[in-house]
Structure 1
Amino acid sequence: MIRSIKSNPTIKLLGICFGHQIIAQALGGEVKKSSKGWGLGVSTTNVSTDSIPVWANLNKKEQLNLIVIHQDQVIEAPKHSHVILKNDFCPNYMLNITPNILTIQGHPEFNKAYLQSLMNIKQDIIPKTTLLEATKSLEKHTDEKIIAHWFSEFLSQK
């Protein structure tokens, strides 16, 4: 199914978190549990200016803050994909795979209160120091509106 979407430019596909991972793996990338532990809290990512698509070049920000909660991540991106967002913890944070597939590791659909609730539910399986750092990171602003705008622009491209 994903391969047929990849070859049909009229169909657009978005993948968020696990969707990001499964699409990347289905197209030849590699997904593994991160040796760095949990990605949790508000994560700062860098905009990759060398491969940013035209539809995403709508602001001059060099970094975006987004909510994350994951252990697995894309270790190796599929061939012909372009990294749009990256950081040291997650080097394949947001991928544009062909003109019609866009994936992201973070959760632009979450708000901080929802993440705090998830962290409370999972407090028995997440290391205490990771929870403390993630809770402190919730003080940062988040840029989910920029990602929502990028999604809208991506989906409206022909």
Structure 2
Amino acid sequence: MARVVILKTGNTYPSLLESFGDFDSWFLARLAPELDLHVVDVTVDDLPGKPGDWDGIVVTGSPAMVSDRAPWSENTGAWLAEAVAEEVPVLGVCYGHQLLAHALGGEAGYHPRGRETGTHQVELLDAAMDDPLFEGLPQTFPAQLTHRQSVLRLPENAVLLGRNDFEPHQAFRVGRCAWGIQFHPEFSAEVMRAYLKVQAPDLEKEGLDAKALIENVLDAPNATSLLGRFSQLVLNGQPKDPTDH
């Protein structure tokens, strides 16, 4: 059975825990049940052995900020860089996306335009059309987002896969099988609405229309499918190299 570790990098809002569980439970629910799944909270626990001990690695979102360079975060980033070098499949989500970019020589920090939150469209670029994770998805699809930091600069060898009008780096790949995605495939529409309700006072202070954002939340099945797609890549073994033609 393929072994996948979920690196948990923080916790959701306390008010969401009782109704929805925490970050790791959302990933556990959407990754393939055929996988042998393990959760390690890297904010408090040791890193899970060597990257090569695992058939796949998933990195969650976090309320922490990559640019703070907390010791646990920097250590996790170095571990992820080893995983990429060893071609262990990696999927970094939101904080995980930013940490992966930072660890590989890119830059993560506060988005110059502030916060992006709610359901927004993601546009796939031509490079995604034959990407092992994204191929077959529509060119544009809705996704759940909530972030204040972003990948400000991609690693030199990264392939940009997705963007939108607010965020130029919604998705990228490095090497054969390491992906960062800024949006949240683990979020349900219900979770997204709950996030927006908690954020509403801050959103209004920032000039955003919390009521409209809540009303405009949509299901995002194409975005959600990425966790199943990543699962299948791990179960099927090493993905093909999209640069081989």
Same structural fold, with TM-score higher than 0.5 when normalized by the shorter chain: yes
TM-score (norm 1): 0.87
Instruction: Please tell me the residue identity of whatever aligns with 1:85.
Output: G
Map 1:90-129 onto structure 2 (within 5 A): 90-127=167-204, 129=208
What SS does the corresponding residue of 1:122 show, helix, strand or coil?
helix
Match of 1:73 in 2: 150
SS at match of 1:41: strand
Give percent identity, aligned residues only.
19
Q: CA deviation at 1:107?
A: 0.7
Instruction: Select the structure of larger CA radius of gyration.
Output: 2
Please tell me whether residue 4 in structure 1 is matched to residue 75 in structure 2: no
Shift in Å, 1:3? 2.3
Aligned residues: 155
Q: CA deviation at 1:55?
A: 4.4
Match of 1:148 among 223, 227, 232: 227
CA 1:135–1:26: 2 relative to 1, 3 Å: same
Residues 153 and 47 of structure 1, relative CA distance in 2, 3 Å threshold? farther
**In 2, distance between residues paired with 1:129 and 1:55?**
33
Q: Match of 1:30?
A: 107
Question: For residues 80 and 224 of structure 2, what CA distance do their matches in structure 1 show?
Answer: 27
Q: Compared with structure 1, are the counterparts of its residues 55 and 119 closer, same or farther at alpha carbon in structure 2 (3 Å cutoff)? A: closer
Q: What displacement does 1:157 show?
A: 4.3
Question: Counterpart of 1:137?
Answer: 216
Deviation string, structure 1 residues 102-148 (Cα, Å, up to 9, x no partner): 1110111011111111222222222263423422321x441234323
- What one-letter code is carried by the residue in structure 2 that aligns with 1:70? H
2 CA distance for matches of 1:147 and 1:57?
A: 10
Q: What is the SS of the residue equivalent to 2:229?
A: helix
Q: In 1, Cα distance between the equivalents of 2:134 and 2:84?
A: 20
Tell me how far 1:44 sits from its aligned partner: 0.4
The gaps in structure 2 that reach 5 residues or longer are: 1-78, 239-245
Q: Is there any run of 5+ residues in structure 1 with no aligned partner, and where?
A: none
TM-score, normalising length: structure 2: 0.58
CA contact (8 A) 2:189 2:219 kept: no
Residues 42 and 65 in structure 1, CA contact (< 8 A), matched pair in contact too: yes
Supply the distance in 2 between the matched residues of 1:18 and 1:4 (Cα, whole angstroms). Answer: 18
Deviation at 1:92, TM superposition (A): 0.8
- 2:227 is paired with a residue whose SS is helix
Runs of 4+ in 1 over 3 A off after TM superposition: none
Secondary structure at the aligned position of 1:20 is classed as helix
